[in-house]
């Protein structure tokens, strides 16, 4: 067993993980940050749009600029970063962790404190031929375009009108692609009006109560058939429409990536509003396993802004346990962040999350 000079392991260098590192390093705590990507920032590194809300939530700042701002908060001397590395397992009872470092060698470590900030993964939906080349998750398209400068195709069908579907549609236009249609199974657009207006102004036809029936093509996508849905979400026969596209982009929701938490023995509960099965956690972001914390989309799909605050809360609560900051100072900072989180969730889009959190806090994991 490797003896470690790290106090805390943070898994995932996205908004939640970076903010956790910032708070921990501010308290003089040594952190090992493991991230699977070549650069830190998680999903932020491809978010070219400006954030909303208030200044404390990075309003007006483009997502791609935030990782640098957060890294400025972190004391370099106190943080060790393993990028392009994967945590493959957390083994109870001693939190032994296996890390596949640089995609080359396996290292074993043991930690008293771990923050799981692994984000979420894209959902897939069922339709005929959904495994044809040319079918992408919207997040994958964003990564290809905004991070690696690769356009996935020329003519797109976007499935799903949540914020990601709307934003990626706009970014596809910016990249010179044609979004031939945006379909949404629900009767109304799910994302923010400001994003929706932008793409409607650009002339992208949006069809609600519509889903994808099948992808056409043998070697790759050559088209798609869409179908209208009635108020009970049943397909309406005779409303099938064929559309000629070379790329189908799916933006049908996210699911928390919490497999490591399950492996570590964290108890799970089902809360629909937070994305389905999630690890149980308390208001300190601590799971049912002592010393293992979770923050961001990994414990309930929300937004980058709330992930950042949850990351800070996890970091501060660990600092409190480690007594690296006076209890009073810790509590003050924790309260500030809790208030900030409440503010963020106070709008109409936060209602679902607030309801989810209310259910979570009412439940014990036993």
Partner 1 sequence: MLPKTADIVIIGGGINGTSLAYYLAKKGIKNIVILEKNFVCSGATGRCGAGIRQQWGTPENTSLAMEAVKLFETLSEELDWDIEYEQCGYLIPAFTDEFADQFSKNVRMQKKLGLDVSYLTPQEAKDIVPDLCVDNVRAATYCSTDGGGNPLLTTYAYAHRAKELGVKIHTKTEVTDITVSGGNITSVVTDKGTISTPMIFNAAGGHSQEIAAMVDIDLPINSYRHQILVTEPVEHFFDPMIISFDYNIYFRQVKHGSILMGCSDTSEKPGYDTTSTLDFIKDITTRSIKIMPKLKKLNVLRQWAGLYNVTPDAMPIIGDVADVGGYFQAVGFSGHGYMLGPKVATLMAELIADGKRDEIIDRLSLERFKSGNITVDSSVC
Q: Does 268 bind partner 1 (CB under 8 A)?
A: no
Distance, in Å, from the CA atom of 107 to the CA atom of 70, rounded to the nearest integer, reads 27
Beta strands in the chain (DSSP E): 8-11, 31-34, 79-82, 86-91, 96-101, 105-110, 113-116, 120-122, 135-137, 155-159, 178-183, 206-207, 210-216, 223-228, 241-243, 247-250, 254-256, 268-271, 276-279, 292-294
Of residues 80 and 110, the one with the C-beta less far from partner 1: 110
Of residues 26 and 109, the one with the C-beta less far from partner 1: 109
Q: Which burial class, exposed, middle or buried, applies to 347 when counting CB atoms under 10 A from its CB (0-12, 13-18, 19+)?
A: exposed
Q: Does 263 bind partner 1 (CB under 8 A)?
A: yes
Q: Quick check: 302 and 360 in contact, CB under 8 A?
A: no
Angle (CA) 305-20-166 rounded to 5° is 25
Of residues 279 and 300, the one with the C-beta less far from partner 1: 279
Q: Does 257 bind partner 1 (CB under 8 A)?
A: no
Of residues 52 and 91, the one with the C-beta less far from partner 1: 91
Would you call the peptide bond into 216 cis, given omega within 30 degrees of 0 as the criterion? no
Residue 305 backbone phi and psi in degrees, to 5 = -60, -45
Of residues 259 and 343, the one with the C-beta less far from partner 1: 259
Distance, in Å, from the CA atom of 151 to the CA atom of 224, rounded to the nearest integer, reads 19
- Six-digit token pair at 115? 């923050």
Collapsing DSSP states into helix, strand and coil, what is residue 189? coil
Q: Does 352 bind partner 1 (CB under 8 A)?
A: no
Q: Quick check: 61 and 49 in contact, CB under 8 A?
A: no
Of residues 100 and 280, the one with the C-beta less far from partner 1: 100
CB of 88 to partner 1, least distance (A): 8
Of residues 46 and 109, the one with the C-beta less far from partner 1: 109
CB of 96 to partner 1, least distance (A): 5
Q: Quick check: 214 and 227 in contact, CB under 8 A?
A: no
CB of 82 to partner 1, least distance (A): 18
92, 133, 187, 347: which one contacts partner 1 (CB under 8 A)? 92
Q: Quick check: 111 and 8 in contact, CB under 8 A?
A: yes
Judged by CB under 8 A, which stretch of 92-100, 118-126, 177-185, 341-349 contacts partner 1? 92-100
CB of 196 to partner 1, least distance (A): 41
83, 96, 123, 155: which one contacts partner 1 (CB under 8 A)? 96
The residue count for binding partner 1 (CB under 8 A) is 9
The pattern of x and - marking residues 31 through 70 that bind partner 1 according to CB under 8 A reads: ----------------------------------------
37, 53, 89, 276: which one contacts partner 1 (CB under 8 A)? 89
30, 71, 91, 241: which one contacts partner 1 (CB under 8 A)? 91
Place of tokens 């936060």: 350
78, 81, 98, 213: which one contacts partner 1 (CB under 8 A)? 98
Scanning residues 102 to 161, which ones bind partner 1 (CB under 8 A)? 108
Q: Quick check: 226 and 215 in contact, CB under 8 A?
A: no
Judged by CB under 8 A, which stretch of 36-44, 91-99, 238-246, 318-326 contacts partner 1? 91-99
Judged by CB under 8 A, which stretch of 89-97, 127-135, 174-182, 298-306 contacts partner 1? 89-97
Q: Does 265 bind partner 1 (CB under 8 A)?
A: yes
Of residues 89 and 223, the one with the C-beta less far from partner 1: 89
Would you give the distance in Å from CA 254 to the centre of its chain? Answer: 7
Q: Quick check: 45 and 122 in contact, CB under 8 A?
A: no
CB of 261 to partner 1, least distance (A): 14
Helix axes 193-201, 163-174, angle to 10 degrees: 30
Interface residues with partner 1 (CB under 8 A)? 88-89, 91-92, 96, 98, 108, 263, 265
């Amino acid at each position: 067993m490797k003896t470690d000079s790290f106090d805390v392991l943070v898994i995932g260098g996205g908004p939640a993980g970076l903010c956790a590192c910032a708070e921990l390093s501010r308290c003089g705590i040594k952190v090992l940050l493991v991230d699977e990507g070549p650069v830190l920032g998680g999903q932020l590194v491809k978010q070219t749009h400006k954030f909303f809300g208030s200044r404390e939530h990075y309003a007006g700042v483009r997502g791609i600029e935030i990782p640098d701002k957060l890294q400025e908060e972190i004391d370099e001397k106190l943080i060790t970063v393993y990028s392009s590395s994967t945590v493959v397992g957390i083994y109870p009872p001693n939190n032994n962790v296996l890390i596949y470092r640089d995609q080359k060698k396996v290292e074993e470590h043991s930690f008293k404190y771990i923050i799981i900030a692994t984000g979420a993964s894209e959902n897939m939906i069922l339709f005929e031929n959904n495994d044809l080349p040319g079918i992408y998750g919207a997040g994958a398209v964003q990564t290809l375009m905004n991070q690696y400068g690769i356009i996935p195709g020329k003519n797109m069908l976007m499935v799903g009108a949540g914020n990601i579907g709307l934003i990626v549609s706009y970014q596809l236009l910016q990249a010179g692609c044609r979004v031939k249609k945006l379909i949404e199974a629900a009767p109304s657009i799910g994302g923010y009006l400001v994003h929706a207006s932008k793409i409607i102004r650009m002339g992208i036809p949006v069809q609600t109560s519509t889903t994808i029936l099948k992808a056409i093509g043998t070697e790759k996508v050559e088209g798609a058939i869409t179908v209208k849905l009635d108020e009970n979400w049943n397909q309406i026969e005779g409303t099938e429409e064929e559309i000629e596209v070379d790329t189908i982009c799916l933006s049908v929701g996210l699911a928390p990536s919490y497999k490591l938490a399950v492996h570590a023995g964290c108890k799970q509960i089902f809360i629909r509003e937070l994305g389905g099965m999630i690890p149980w956690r308390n208001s300190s972001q601590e799971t049912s396993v002592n010393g293992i914390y979770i923050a961001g989309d990994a414990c309930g799909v929300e937004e980058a802004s709330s992930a950042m605050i949850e990351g800070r809360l996890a970091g501060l609560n660990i600092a409190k346990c480690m007594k690296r900051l006076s209890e009073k100072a810790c509590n003050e900072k924790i309260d500030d962040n809790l208030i900030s989180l409440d503010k963020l969730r106070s709008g109409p889009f936060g209602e679902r999350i607030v309801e989810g959190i209310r259910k979570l806090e009412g439940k014990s994991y036993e």
